[in-house]
Structure 1
Amino acid sequence: MNSTMALIINIPTLFLLYIMIYFTQALSGKRQFYGVSLNSDYFTKEDFKALDKNFKVLVTIGFIVFSIVTLICIYVFKAYEIATLLPILGFCLYQFFTFLYIHNKVKKLKKGLSLEINNLDLEKTRLVLDTDFLNEKNRLIKKYSIMFMIPFIVTVLMGVYTMTQYNSLPDMIPTHWGPSGAADEFSKKSIASVGGIIAMSAGVGLIIYVSSVGSLKSRGKLNVDDLDYSKKAHLHYLNKFALTFLVLNIACQVMFISILIATVNTSSINIFILWPCTIAIIIAAIYQTYLYYKSPSKSKTAVYTVDDEDSFWIFGTIYNNHDDPSFFVQKRFGVGWTVNIGTTKGKIFFIVPFIIIIFALIITSSM
């Protein structure tokens, strides 16, 4: 990698991350403001608007600073790999602490205003449990769960096949492939190196599968004022979510399978697989962001449920409620879903990605 390529890759990546963070609150729905439950009528009040502006200014300053750090790494130290990791990780950490700062400011402001304003909180509407809606939702989830499982099983079988070919693999195997699909990094063959590629493919594939199913199972919040329309809208959006999850599952698993095939054959990844899958993942992720933004469960009129309680959220981002059986719940700040660490499954799923990252670092350092 040269300085021009490092610049082309890293600055746009940092800018994309900046744009996503800058508009995160706008994508978070009409129920929470920087991780705090709040009547959306007050989102545009001067005190809260000032905090929103403060967050955006601080994030912009962080983007400028870490862009400069990226340029220094590239042009002063010629540290291209560090330029890829350090600024992005640093910017993510910086924006998290920036969010915490604004989150605490919002909590303090809400607490102070609640002494004189009695409708700052979300309206505590009655919970709606519609059996017809739940049955339709469960049928849809069951259908797509089977469809999500098929590409994952193929990945696992390909991993098993890769290990059976261990003795016929050459002494040096590819461990990384560039944008052209050509292998650009190699390591000495070992059980750890081959097994690491298989474990990473299967492990990440499993996380994608569980995340997809868990997200679809998350609580749907109906609108009591127009129940029939609300049920149709939820099922409509749930089906669209499921289709985007299916695209993500298939594209990711095809990529993993291609990596395992390239490992066995010590070859490049077919560019007609690499780029279509990459583009499909990006388009599906963007469309899913749009769907999440339009989700009926994030609207102001959705019913009040237990996960709307501020007391069950740590830093406004981590849901911890052992009395709620939900495995996944919708995020308060940002797009997507998060696990309920109050459940055993939630604790395991919360920890597993960190274990995979540590495992990957250990394998990488030993190559």
Structure 2
Amino acid sequence: MIIALFGFILLFITILQAFMPKFLKPTEAFGVYIPDSHTKDSVVIKLKNTYTTVVLTFGMIIFLVYLWWALTQKPAEETLALVSVGVQFTTLFVSIGYYFMMHLRMKRLKETQGWLIGKSEVRVIDVKFQEKLKLIPRVLFIIPMFVTIGLIIYTFMKYDQMPEMIPTHWGPTGEADAFSEKTYFSVVALPLILLVMQGMFLMMSEGMKFSGVRLNPANKKASLVQQLAFRKYTSLLALFITIGITLMLGYFHLQTIHPEISSPLIMWALPLTFLILTFAVVGIYAIKVGQSGSRLKVEENSPAIDNKIAVDEDRYWKGGMFYLNKNDPSIMVEKRFGVGWTLNFAHPISWIVLLVPLLLIFGISFLL
């Protein structure tokens, strides 16, 4: 079963990375902006198909070799877990490395063929965008945080009844394999980490309200509808993950207070179920919504503006992945390669948003 789990994760990573160009806006390929008039150029389509073929082929070979090794060599659980994680990261790093190669090829193609020559750059805005935006209400993100706070209070009430050694890690079979001495800090470490994670998803949902919208001048109305839907579905995805981790980590913590509810089967099945459901939802999200809602079918169209294109922001995207624009007040921006959001690393607050939660989580884990 462990082999099936790691194999499933490896297969998911391979497929998602291979077909990523299919989930993005037509006007963006490998982190490079493409004017609408060139989105269907044969060379652009060929580069996308080549990327999919190479990454998928490499990933499937690695997947088959991994299964052969795991099934024939029958390694110990620790060795299996270590190799499995290493194989997953190798597959991911190879696909990212190949992406950067395609990114450079796309940039050269854009420059040599002069796609921007004779075009005027315009920025289309909708002054009422914030009024039209319908995200999941923040109260639905705050409720799980109150549940976690209540769990912390309840833990302190039950402190004297808790065992002297608190489990802090569970192995592949669902059995606890690492413990920490009971202190007022160690007994609430897991809920504290959960609270930080809940806050991160709340910030992500709320941050979309203040992120600048980039509408396509060639199809303003459809682009607007897709943007509104994209942010709404992203907020819904964040809520789904928030509820999922709250239920999972909440149970993990409660069984340290009430060992009678502990079950190796549940401890094994709960994270597996959460993982599979999350992958399934993310897959549906990528296929049905796509980046910026580009895969959503919209009938509202508007005439193209002759010789007008969206503002080319390639200079702000380092490698097509890292956005640095000190003149942009947005903290969060839509990814150019990948479905979701990234940070404006030229904005000081972005580093606070990134580092503070990570330092808190690592700090709590280190002090255990």
User: How would you bin the TM-score normalised by the shorter chain?
Assistant: 0.7 to 0.9
Measured after TM superposition, the shift of residue 156 of structure 1 is 3.2
Q: Decide whether the 8 Å contact of 1:7 with 1:71 is kept in 2.
A: no
Cα distance in 2 for partners of 1:226, 1:334 equals 22
Q: How many residues align?
A: 351
Structure 1 counterpart of 2:43, one-letter code:
D
Quick check: 1:292 aligned with 2:284? no
Structure 1 counterpart of 2:80, one-letter code:
Y
Q: Decide whether the 8 Å contact of 2:190 with 2:249 is kept in 1.
A: no
- In structure 2, the residue matched to 1:18 is 14
Q: Decide whether the 8 Å contact of 1:155 with 1:256 is kept in 2.
A: no
What is the TM-score normalised by the length of structure 1?
Answer: 0.78
Quick check: 1:148 aligned with 2:144? no
Measured after TM superposition, the shift of residue 183 of structure 1 is 4.2
Percent sequence identity over aligned pairs? 22
Residues 330, 80 of structure 1: CA spacing in aligned structure 2 closer, same or farther, 3 A cutoff? same
Cα distance in 2 for partners of 1:151, 1:217 equals 23
- In structure 2, the residue matched to 1:130 is 127
SS of 1:144's partner is coil
Greater Cα shift, 324-333 or 40-49: 40-49
Structure 1 counterpart of 2:151, one-letter code:
M
Residues 162, 105 of structure 1: CA spacing in aligned structure 2 closer, same or farther, 3 A cutoff? farther
Cα distance in 1 for partners of 2:294, 2:118 equals 19
Cα distance in 2 for partners of 1:71, 1:227 equals 51
- Structural RMSD (CA): 3.8
Q: Equivalences for 1:168-317 in 2 at 5 Å?
A: 168-176=161-169, 183-191=175-183, 193-222=186-215, 234-266=227-259, 267-268=261-262, 271=266, 274=270, 281-290=278-287, 292-293=289-290, 295=292, 308-317=312-321
Match of 1:51 among 25, 47, 67: 47
Q: Decide whether the 8 Å contact of 2:189 with 2:365 is kept in 1.
A: no
Cα distance in 2 for partners of 1:61, 1:362 equals 40
- In structure 1, the residue matched to 2:91 is 91
Measured after TM superposition, the shift of residue 96 of structure 1 is 1.6
Residues 150, 361 of structure 1: CA spacing in aligned structure 2 closer, same or farther, 3 A cutoff? closer
Measured after TM superposition, the shift of residue 46 of structure 1 is 3.7
Measured after TM superposition, the shift of residue 119 of structure 1 is 5.6
- In structure 2, the residue matched to 1:162 is 155
Residues 349, 298 of structure 1: CA spacing in aligned structure 2 closer, same or farther, 3 A cutoff? farther
What's the CA shift string for 1:311-351, capped at 9, x where partnerless?
11121111111111111111101111111111122112333
Residues 217, 288 of structure 1: CA spacing in aligned structure 2 closer, same or farther, 3 A cutoff? farther
Measured after TM superposition, the shift of residue 113 of structure 1 is 1.8
Match of 1:39 among 3, 25, 35: 35
What's the CA shift string for 1:236-276, capped at 9, x where partnerless?
55444434433332233222322222232234379599477
Measured after TM superposition, the shift of residue 62 of structure 1 is 3.5
Q: Decide whether the 8 Å contact of 1:330 with 1:338 is kept in 2.
A: yes
Gaps of 5+ in 1: none
SS of 2:86's partner is helix
What's the CA shift string for 1:191-223, capped at 9, x where partnerless?
465454233222222222212222354333446
Cα distance in 2 for partners of 1:228, 1:57 equals 34
Measured after TM superposition, the shift of residue 120 of structure 1 is 9.9
Measured after TM superposition, the shift of residue 8 of structure 1 is 1.3
Residues 282, 16 of structure 1: CA spacing in aligned structure 2 closer, same or farther, 3 A cutoff? closer
Quick check: 1:334 aligned with 2:338? yes
Q: Decide whether the 8 Å contact of 1:247 with 1:280 is kept in 2.
A: no
Cα distance in 1 for partners of 2:343, 2:189 equals 26
Measured after TM superposition, the shift of residue 41 of structure 1 is 4.1
Residues 85, 356 of structure 1: CA spacing in aligned structure 2 closer, same or farther, 3 A cutoff? farther
Residues 311, 177 of structure 1: CA spacing in aligned structure 2 closer, same or farther, 3 A cutoff? same
Cα distance in 1 for partners of 2:201, 2:116 equals 42
Cα distance in 2 for partners of 1:294, 1:96 equals 18
Structure 2 counterpart of 1:161, one-letter code:
Y
What is the TM-score normalised by the length of structure 2?
Answer: 0.78
Gaps of 5+ in 2: none
- In structure 1, the residue matched to 2:350 is 346
Cα distance in 1 for partners of 2:319, 2:291 equals 25
Measured after TM superposition, the shift of residue 42 of structure 1 is 3.0
Cα distance in 2 for partners of 1:359, 1:73 equals 35
Structure 2 counterpart of 1:56, one-letter code:
T
Cα distance in 2 for partners of 1:199, 1:95 equals 35
Quick check: 1:8 aligned with 2:42? no
What's the CA shift string for 1:155-199, capped at 9, x where partnerless?
23323433554443213333345789x544341434465454233
Cα distance in 1 for partners of 2:247, 2:352 equals 26
Cα distance in 2 for partners of 1:238, 1:175 equals 36
Measured after TM superposition, the shift of residue 149 of structure 1 is 1.6
What's the CA shift string for 1:277-330, capped at 9, x where partnerless?
666544543343245327457899899766x50111121111111111111111
